[in-house]
Amino acid sequence: MMNDKKVLFSGMQATGTLTLGNYLGALKNWVTLSDEYECFYCVVDLHSITIRQDPAELRKRARNLLTLYIAAGLDPTKNCLYYQSHVSGHAELSWILNCFTYMGELNRMTQFKDKSQKHADNINAGLFTYPVLMAADILLFQSDVVPVGIDQMQHLEITRDIAQRFNNIYGDVFTIPEPYIGKTGAKIMSLQDPTKKMSKSDENPNSSIYLMDDPDAIVRKFKRAVTDSGKEILYTDDKPGIKNLLDIYCTITQKTVEEAVKEFDGKGYGEFKLAVGEVVADHLRPVQERFGQLSKDKAFIDGIIKDNAEKANYFATKTLRKVQRKVGFPDRIR
Ligand code: TRP
């Protein structure tokens, strides 16, 4: 790369409205990591069409997501924030890697099994080879680390297997990426059923805090959060609701669980839930304000999109040409 920082790659889909879970589990960590690594943060729109999308809606959401990356604190001049569809190397490398991936490996992917059950009317080949595209995303930039949630670990493992297999045949072409799993706030649970992950696709809007919820709605949802019949604010597995609220509180305030438990010692659930709601609302307010301002500045966002696509293309092409040469494609004539 251009400096000696290690390369980090991650991506998010622009499907659904982002929740506090996506923010605390991913985006907020991305901001923290952006000092230490050379970061590529992609809006993975190629992945999105493995499920049928409304075109206008997808385009709008993709732009909102990229804008949100910036609003959340990612500096678009230091981090490469771009659309996957603007860098054709993703699709080209994905094709090549398809030829180095076995059907049996893809058959074992639990997300494929889940998604094909959920979308039984559209089990397309893209859904099946989704992990190969993800491998291409990561390997295209010679990424050293990939921050992922636990649900994407299997995809990262297959990425490593594919890279290793390719390297075994052709020499050291790809950097083998390592997963990066965040310390706290890795998994935020539903406010209505704290045994389930907070999800953008939950039908009950009270289950999730959406990043664009106004402060009143945020506080209201926390007040309604399902806890348990007890009184004590303790961090234990048999109090999943309280545990989830403590996780949220600590991730935002950067306090330890012990500190938080002490702070709320002797206080009721009502007071506790209100405090968590307020902390979240206060934390999201500046992000929401920046998002509002940025959304109005079309020329600025357009410039970011253009410059970063160029930057991503430059690095992607370097890897792609090397790979094409290794597998035996003819050299380009200049
Ligand atoms: N599949 C990931 C998800 O749904 C998104 C993704 C696509 C990704 N390509 C990636 C994440 C590469 C990390 C690295 O969450």
The band of 43, judged by pLDDT with boundaries at 50, 70 and 90, is: very high
Q: Is 22 annotated as a binding residue?
A: yes
Q: ∠ CA 211-26-313 to the nearest 5 degrees?
A: 105
Is 115 among the residues known to form the active site? yes
CA-closest candidate to residue 16, choices 78, 77, 50, 58: 58
Ligand 1 centre to CA of 255 (Å) is: 29
Cβ of 132 less than 6 Å from ligand 1: no
Here the tokens at position 33 are 């990591």
Ligand 1 atom closest to Cα of residue 12: 5
Q: In this predicted model, what pLDDT tens digit does every residue of 17-33 receive, in sequence order? A: 889 998 998 899 999 99
User: Which element (helix H / strand E) includes 83?
Assistant: strand 80-83
Q: Is 168 annotated as a binding residue?
A: no
Ligand 1 centre to CA of 249 (Å) is: 26
pLDDT of residue 185: 47
CA-closest candidate to residue 103, choices 140, 128, 83, 136: 128
Ligand 1 mutation pick, 7, 69, 153, 155, max ligand atoms within 8 A of CB: 155
Backbone angles phi, psi at 166, to 5 degrees: -65, -45
Q: In this predicted model, what pLDDT tens digit does every residue of 222-245 receive, in sequence order? A: 999 999 889 999 999 999 999 999
- Out of 6, 187, 200, 223, pick the active-site residue: 200
Ligand 1 atom closest to Cα of residue 133: 9
pLDDT of residue 17: 82
Q: In this predicted model, what pLDDT tens digit does every residue of 304-323 receive, in sequence order? A: 999 999 999 999 999 999 99
Q: Who's near 238: CB < 8 A, 6+ residues apart?
A: 228
Atom 13, ligand 1: residue with shortest CA distance: 10
- Structure pTM? 0.93
Q: In this predicted model, what pLDDT tens digit does every residue of 113-159 receive, in sequence order? A: 999 999 999 999 999 999 999 999 999 999 999 998 888 999 999 99
Can you tell me which residue has the tokens 């991650």?
10
Q: Are 50 and 14 in contact (CB under 8 A)?
A: no
The band of 1, judged by pLDDT with boundaries at 50, 70 and 90, is: low
Ligand 1 centre to CA of 119 (Å) is: 19
How far apart CA 17 and CA 28 sit, in angstroms, is: 16
Ligand 1 centre to CA of 31 (Å) is: 17
pLDDT of residue 291: 96
Q: How far apart are the first and last CA of the chain?
A: 25
Is 183 among the residues known to form the active site? no
